[in-house]
Amino acid sequence: MKLVNSTWLSAHLNDENLRVLDVRSDVMQYLPGHVPNAVHLSDFSLRAPKNGVPAQYLNPESLCHLFALAGVTDDHHVVVYSQGEGVIGATMIMYALNLIGHTDVSLLDGGWTAYRNTQRVSQQYPIYGAAQLTVRPEPDAMSISLEELKDQLATKRATFVDARPEGAYLGVESTWMRNGHLPGALNVDWHSLVEGANLHQLRPLEEIKALLALKGVRKDQNIVVYCGTSREASILYLILKHLLDYPRVRLYEGSWTEYSSFPELKMETGRPVPTV
């Protein structure tokens, strides 16, 4: 993951190896205006039910087919953007590209809001031919399964970081079958990683480093990030793994949607009790 700004993107729109993805969830946001040559691919397209559990990632072959339909090839540098809170949809798309082994991916810092305020926009649809895209999974595991997560909980070999807002973490919101968080999990609300005036713009990395240190998230830990459906956790995963070079970070894709559906699995509510 890399960051590019609107000026850089505008200057490189005619690069042959560039593919821009507008991943705003609603196509009705794309139609009135978008970055020139951007392909619309709703971030909602990437997931489907799995064994009854909603919002789970498609398999790598299906993801590859979907991205190829959007014109992404093995040789493309892909720039992804959305708008506002949709930044977590953009980072989820980037995570999915990494899942199939496509790592030349950048986030448009500031997203659509920053771009439209300073650059030329378009309503024209892009034109492209058939795309050749190959599944080449990352050599290091990016995700952790429920069975692996249960083992990590039992052996206490991982640091779990919940990227949801505090209310969901504490268990005071009645969204899931059971409400709370993984035993011992830390809480880094994804909103704390971005600017309040434009949620699609990351805070300076030095500020994010200070925040993580305050929360107890360190580079020497074996880190597992999660949230409600892995959408919010995707931004934390990409920041830790690719911008801050944390060596051991994985994402629990099933997240709280899956975990909370098993009544026998332990959970906690409220804030962690300080250890003496």
User: Which strands, in side-by-side order, build the sheet including 223-226?
Assistant: 186-187, 159-162, 223-226, 249-251
Structure tokens at 195: 């600017």
**227 is annotated as an active-site residue:** yes
Residues 6+ apart with CB under 8 A from 158: 152, 221, 222, 223, 224
Q: Which among 128, 135, 98, 132 is positioned nearest to 38, based on CA atoms?
A: 128
Q: How far apart are CA 43 and CA 49, in angstroms?
A: 15
Structure tokens at 134: 């190959």
How many Cβ atoms from other residues are within 10 Å of residue 8's Cβ? Answer: 13
Q: How far apart are CA 121 and CA 67, in angstroms?
A: 23
Q: Which among 207, 183, 199, 197 is positioned nearest to 235, based on CA atoms?
A: 199
Residues 6+ apart with CB under 8 A from 233: 161, 163, 190, 225, 226, 227, 251, 252, 255
Q: How far apart are CA 266 and CA 1, in angstroms?
A: 34
User: Which of the following is catalytic: 1, 41, 88, 227?
Assistant: 227
- Asked if 216 and 186 touch (Cβ cutoff 8 Å), the reply is yes
Q: How far apart are CA 271 and CA 171, in angstroms?
A: 10
- Catalytic positions, written as ranges: 227
